[in-house]
Structure 1
């Protein structure tokens, strides 16, 4: 099995390569320090599996996975993360990610997970799945879209124009979001949503 590791922390990337290269049936074909580089390597080397850090410069692991899905690339994407944010997880599933695992997993667990992913199975770390189960995203897709544009600093009029809504409807969505997130105001609502990965 040929894999690519994409991780912006050099020490962790090197350690992962060293440990996975010890497995007889796993070959680390290349390493990338950002998402853009990872995408180029995947396209040129055609690995079986790419192990992606969720937060990287240039392109995130999720953006790389989404791009691979869009291109119909056969490489199976696996996310390695320290974050148990529900929004990230939901987006990963939509992007067709085959694995969602914790960075501090023992290497034998990680290599076993990579083999299962290579066989076409889906692997989700138990700790992550439990925390995500307890913390579902309460916002609808439209509410997330409105909040994301508010977070970008756009005025109500511009948000209404972009989403083909009336200004009153945009305000209604925002008050609904504030209520659902039990926030005091829009600033707090943005913070809550961002900390949970619901604006990913």
Structure 2
């Protein structure tokens, strides 16, 4: 059980790689009498440990961070069976990111230019077990195209986006070089891309990787 049951406060973890953003969010949310920032981290691979150590009720998580991305961090919290609920707060309001985040177990998805009062209310709703999504993004997600890539293809393309050789990609995803080539060929065909770099660009713009 979190300490908020005793204090009446909703305990928050802020995860964002930009110090100014974390500081601004902390200052704004701390003005609310029922919200308490108990921890801040700047890397995705620090989120799980911070949740385990500080037991926040809600984690506000950015997507693009060093270590691992915020969506993967959310998934690890869920897999660990922790009671913390996650709210994605990001600059990158892409429909593909929204779908991936909700599939990973996030309770909400909002963009960083959300007014402070509205964000605080969303935090309260997430803490209460409700799901909140930026309405514009929700509409775009429903209207947008579905991710055509399988989970394995997404994994291969994420690795390929770093510019490594087929041999390096194969080692990173624990597949044979031949299998990696087959996946890359399938990905390029599905996206009608010029090459794997163009495929990675398209997938990133859609929030699929």
Q: Normalising to structure 2: TM-score of the pair?
A: 0.79
Q: Is the 8 A contact 1:4 1:51 kept in 2?
A: yes
User: Which runs of 5 or more residues in structure 1 are unaligned?
Assistant: none
2:165 matches 1:153: yes
Residues 39-118 of structure 1: matches in 2 within 5 Å?
Answer: 39-118=48-127
Residue of structure 1 equivalent to 2:33: 24
Residue of structure 1 equivalent to 2:188: 178
Moved more, 49-58 or 79-88: 79-88
- In structure 2, the CA distance between the partners of 1:143 and 1:54, relative to structure 1 (3 Å rule), is closer
In structure 1, distance between residues paired with 2:194 and 2:148: 17
Q: Is the 8 A contact 1:86 1:136 kept in 2?
A: no
Residue of structure 1 equivalent to 2:17: 8
Once the two structures are superposed, what CA deviation does each residue of 1:33-79 show, in whole Å capped at 9, x if it has no partner?
A: 22334333211111110111111222322222121111100011111
Moved more, 140-149 or 19-28: 140-149
- In structure 2, the CA distance between the partners of 1:55 and 1:175, relative to structure 1 (3 Å rule), is closer
The size of the alignment, in residue pairs, is 196
Moved more, 6-15 or 70-79: 6-15
TM-aligned CA deviation for residue 94 of structure 1: 2.4
User: Which runs of 5 or more residues in structure 2 are unaligned?
Assistant: 1-9
Output the aligned Cα RMSD.
2.8
In structure 1, distance between residues paired with 2:159 and 2:65: 22
Once the two structures are superposed, what CA deviation does each residue of 1:90-138 show, in whole Å capped at 9, x if it has no partner?
A: 3312221111111100011101111110110111111222233324312
Once the two structures are superposed, what CA deviation does each residue of 1:136-181 show, in whole Å capped at 9, x if it has no partner?
A: 31223354345445544325xx59x9558x95x8666544432332
* Equivalent of residue 202 in structure 2, options 192, 195, 199: 192
Q: Normalising to structure 1: TM-score of the pair?
A: 0.82
Residues 160-175 of structure 1: matches in 2 within 5 Å?
Answer: 162=174, 167=178, 174-175=184-185
- In structure 2, the CA distance between the partners of 1:40 and 1:146, relative to structure 1 (3 Å rule), is closer
